[in-house]
Amino acid sequence: MDFSCTINKSVIYLLTGFWLTIDNTNAFAQQLDADSILYRASIKNAVALYYQSEGDQSRLFNGTIYHDYSNQLMGDHAYFVSNEFNRGTIYYDGLVYEDVPMLYDIIKDEVVILHPNRIFRISLVNEKITGFTLLGHHFIRIVQDTILNTTLKTGFYELLYEGKLIVLKKQTKTTFEKLDVDTFKRAVNVTNRLYLKKDGNYHLIPNKKSLLSFLQDKQNDIQPYLKKNRIKFKKDPDHAIMKIAAYYDKITN
């Protein structure tokens, strides 16, 4: 008998039973809620047990081999903030994985993780990713509604604010050819776009004027608030739109 296989199967049954118990037993869930530390620790330990026991066979490692193309770029890299692996949390294929070394390739709009052998890099399957947190930033995957022809295309968006209003940020990196000494390489161009969700629809917010036009029902309140708190949209759009969205929610019944 393959002893390691038996252990792995037992862990899968244990994890499956754990989740079914939580879903189907309200009394047990309420009991754990009373001790939130125990509740969170139990979930974390169960996922960690599965993650560690399965190793290379874990559901997290079922993407495709990622080929690093950094040497083809100049002036910037393809990734979000850092081109070094940083540990984050990812919601993948129905499970939460914490403390995972990862990169977010913005050019390809892909999440890249490090294989346990620390040699291979793996591009995860986008359709299996609900969201991820990296370097203190939380991203969610949006799927474009082709029937409504929404403004948002399918991809990963940073969730800046979530309340009655929702604020998303989409950073894109595109490349173009540029001569580097005697060799053509790909230079990187960065674009940031902000989106506001109000009344079920997302709106592109390129400037302060467009933001205030979408919030015109409270514009007379927002303008003095901006002035009093010295909030400058042009100087720091991310901070400004988050503060405005939170203030709008506060004064809206």
**Predicted TM-score of the model (pTM):** 0.75
Q: What is the mean pLDDT of each run of 10 residues along the chain (253 residues)?
A: 36 39 42 48 50 56 89 91 95 91 96 87 95 97 80 93 96 86 82 93 93 92 94 94 96 86
Q: Identify the CA nearest to 42 among candidates 28, 55, 53, 54.
A: 28
Counting Cα atoms < 13 Å in the Cβ hemisphere of 105 gives 17
Check residue 152 and report its DSSP letter: P
* pLDDT value of residue 90: 95
Check residue 252 and report its DSSP letter: -
Distance CA 43, CA 89 (A): 14
Mark residue 37 as left, alpha or beta (left: phi above 0; alpha: psi -120 to 50; beta: remaining): alpha
* pLDDT value of residue 29: 41
* pLDDT value of residue 45: 52
* pLDDT value of residue 63: 86
Q: Are strands 166-180 and 155-162 parallel, antiparallel or unpaired?
A: antiparallel
Domain boundaries, the chain: 3-57, 64-204, 205-253
